[in-house]
Structure 1
Amino acid sequence: MKVVILCGGKGTRIREITEDIPKPLIIIDGRPMVWHIMNIYYHHGFNDFILPIGYKGQKIKEYFINSPWMNYDMIIDNREGDFKITFLRGSNKWRITFIDAGEESMTGSRIKKIEPYIEDDEFMLTYGDGLADINIQKLLEFHREKGKIATMTGVKAKSQYGILKISNGIAEKFVEKPETDQIINGGFFVMHKEIFKYIDDEKGNCVFEKEPLEKLVEDKQLAVYLHQGFWAAIDTYKDYIELNENWDFIKKRIYENKD
């Protein structure tokens, strides 16, 4: 099954980092975000990826072309005049299809452009800036059980403000960014190919989160898989700092939690 990771955005709200690189190449623990996202899927047995690229997309290609010799121990042997490279430990065994979706295209238009490359009835899709300790296999089972065109992972939103708990006029506790009861789009979709009928691609201006998702809701064709574990997205520089500061905990959640 194909896994589509949207990699074309400019990351305008985090220009401190994305002036020179696309958002999916933001480095966390020595590796770009998109690499960590791919490893979440790889951890659950999925290794065939499509990356619709846009803003500075050539740098994403360059990373994956250069990644083996940059990140793995290797031997270069030219003693016999026959240049050979041997990797001492294997790199990730995955397949990546890069599709140039245009620098200015919106999310729906990017998805529409990968339609010719979806061979199965189902495929997965997520954003290039979000991480979660989600069980991908359980997400897929939920999608098939509900039998809808698309399943979206829903996560509880966090308030952007800290909240004081008060008793008798005295502050008892301060909670920073508490969860609310509101459910937001957490990415990590499973979709049937019928989704492409919902995307009217006009000049690259189709925003997937608007008309297509709204029409799916209207047709009662959007299931929501509620994920109550770890989830985070890099939207601001503060998000980036928090992700790095808490990476040891996050890494264990992502790569060791199979529940």
Structure 2
Amino acid sequence: MEADRGQDIGWVKRAAGSHDLACEGGCDHVGARTVPPPSRRVIRRAAPADVLRLMQLRDQELEVRKRTRELVSKHRLRMKVSEAEWQWDRNKLTVYFTAEKRVDFRALVRDMARSFRTRIDLRQIGVRDEARRLGGLGRCRRELCCRSWLTSIEPVTLQLAKDQGLSLNPSQISGACGRLMNCLRYEHAVYTQARKRFPPVGKTIRTARGRESVKAWDLFEETVSLQGGDGEVRIIPLAQLREERRAARRAELDR
């Protein structure tokens, strides 16, 4: 297929006509329109020799990363080289790196061009994008979501962990990239709705035993932990708590 100033190899992910991919209400919900065709033209089907050449280039990328890191050290640049990728025709070498600040790598590019004898494309990416490209296993022992199926990464904040009553220890809620895990968003909507059914933690309420403080609640077990004035803690079903509160209100009104 066509690539930037040359040719590259791609993989067919889906085959369909543009009319089959049309959005009924429009992808922007303005009006019906068809999906534009790809900007890159497919030249031909890759031959076994083409695939072999690609695999050989992939084998060389380890040495490319090593050599690039040596050049980075030589120029004393504060950047971390994470991945290198040859274009199939060797007309371009793309190197991905992370850095805390902007990096002036003009001298580095010149050295790399002399060393690899091709056009160099240095791309700075974030730590989340780096994890997506490199892959790995999460705390759940499954492949990283950003690598396996997530098409886009939405912002993840500490408030998501607070709403779910999770530990706020960064080491326990951070992913392989060092940022908050994407899965903190998955059940957040459920917890947000649940908070409307459960009494807030720390609130003092009136029950069949008098005034008790809400210590915690379990969304999946539908239970609430209460602590009375004598320090005793009891765990009761949410339905029972509702009934006790209704009974306590009726008793107060009857006085």
TM-score range (shorter-chain normalised) is under 0.3
Structure with more strand by fraction: 1
TM-score w.r.t. the length of structure 1 is 0.25
Higher relative contact order (CA 8 A, sep 6+): 1
